[in-house]
């Protein structure tokens, strides 16, 4: 083997078999939780081209590709630029918000050790152990750039005795942005640590970037409000008091009572006692008993 690769790493032959073509070997993923471990690998030999369309592999993160004069495809590089990570699944770029590093010293049985760092939001393994073979030996420190979000670090020992301290004095240290997140060695079959990087990721355009806007601020003020502000009160204030009340409402004292009501005392006072007293009792009483 020419190189030991961790998940996501690529080894490149610049001129495979002196052909002038590039051969790449990429470790897409490595799973050491099974026995034996499983790795997914992509091997690609650069093909000769006659025009630029021959070079487009459909991968966003490879950037714009073109055919040079020797018939070799060339890539302009990642469209994301410095300080960003490229995500092929979403054709997008995210700002690097931090990093994580793993330093490890093996115990007497290095082949039992494995670990990985997983990005929680898509369960992608962003860094993993390469497979150890040297006992009781400090291993190279491995570092990965990370976008903002939550991550899970898992370390395992297939025998269940950790890496310290019954069969050696192994240890590990997980750091992020130079701060120690976790460390130890007495973890039995394994242990899990969670950590968070930065703030929410900043996404760039989902395809090769379009030109920057000509201005950042709006080119003109916002459009007017739906209707203008009234220039005066909606309707004039009344020029005088309201119109008179209906005519059937009294505006003054009631009109005089009907004319057939006496306007004054009777014209003539009541006459005095009767002019003549009643006539006297019958003039003559019967003269005698009725005649027979």
| 3-state secondary structure labels for all residues of the chain | CCCCCCCCCEEEECCHHHCCCCEEEEEEEEECCCCCCEEEEEEEECCECCCHHHCCCCCHHHCCEEECCCCEEEECCCCCCCCEEEECCCCEEEEEEEEEEEEEECCCCHHHEEEEEEECCCCEEEEECCCCCCCCCECCCEEEEEECEEEEEEEEECCCCCCEECCEECEEEEEECCEEEEEECCCCCEEEEEEEECCCCCECCCCCCCCCCCCCCCCCCCCCCCCCCCCCCCCCCCCCCCCCCCCCCCCCCCCCCCCCCCCCCCCCCCCCCCCCCCCCCCCCCCCCCCCC
Which residues make Cβ contacts (< 8 Å) with residue 169, sequence separation at least 6? 105, 107, 136, 185
| CA 94/CA 101 separation, integer angstroms | 20
**pLDDT by residue for the chain (292 residues), tens digit each?**
455 777 878 888 777 777 767 888 888 888 878 888 888 888 887 667 889 888 888 889 989 989 988 888 888 888 998 999 999 889 999 999 999 999 999 999 999 999 999 999 999 999 999 989 999 999 999 999 999 999 999 999 999 999 999 889 999 999 999 999 999 999 999 999 999 998 533 333 433 344 444 444 444 555 555 555 555 555 555 555 555 555 554 445 555 555 554 445 544 445 454 444 444 555 445 445 554 4
The pTM (predicted TM-score) of the whole model is 0.53
pLDDT of 225: 53
pLDDT of 207: 39
């Amino acid at each position: 083997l020419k190189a030991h690769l961790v998940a996501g790493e690529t080894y490149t032959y610049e001129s495979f078999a002196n052909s002038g073509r590039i051969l790449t070997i990429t470790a897409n993923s490595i799973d050491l939780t099974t026995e034996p471990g499983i790795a997914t690998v992509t091997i690609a030999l650069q093909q000769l081209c006659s025009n630029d369309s021959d070079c487009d592999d459909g991968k966003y993160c490879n950037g714009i590709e073109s055919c040079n004069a020797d018939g070799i495809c060339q890539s302009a590089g990642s469209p994301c630029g410095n300080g960003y990570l490229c995500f092929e699944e979403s054709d997008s770029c995210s700002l690097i918000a931090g990093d994580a590093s793993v330093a490890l010293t093996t115990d007497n049985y290095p082949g039992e050790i494995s670990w990985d760092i997983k990005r929680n939001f898509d369960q992608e393994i962003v860094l993993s152990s390469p497979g150890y073979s040297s006992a009781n030996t400090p291993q190279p420190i491995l570092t990965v750039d990370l976008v903002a979000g939550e991550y899970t670090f898992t370390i395992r020992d297939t025998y269940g005795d950790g890496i310290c301290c019954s069969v050696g004095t192994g240890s590990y240290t997980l750091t992020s942005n130079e701060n120690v997140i976790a460390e130890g060695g007495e973890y039995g079959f394994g242990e899990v640590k969670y950590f968070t990087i930065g703030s929410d990721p900043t996404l760039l355009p989902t395809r090769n970037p379009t030109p920057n806007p000509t201005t950042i601020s709006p080119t003109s003020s916002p459009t007017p409000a739906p209707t203008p502000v009234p220039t005066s009160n909606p309707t004039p204030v009344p020029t005088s008091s309201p119109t008179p009340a209906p005519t059937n409402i009294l505006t003054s004292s009631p009109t005089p009572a009907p004319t057939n009501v006496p306007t004054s005392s009777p014209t003539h006072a009541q006459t005095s006692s009767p002019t003549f007293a009643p006539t006297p009792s019958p003039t003559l009483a019967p003269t005698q008993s009725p005649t027979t």
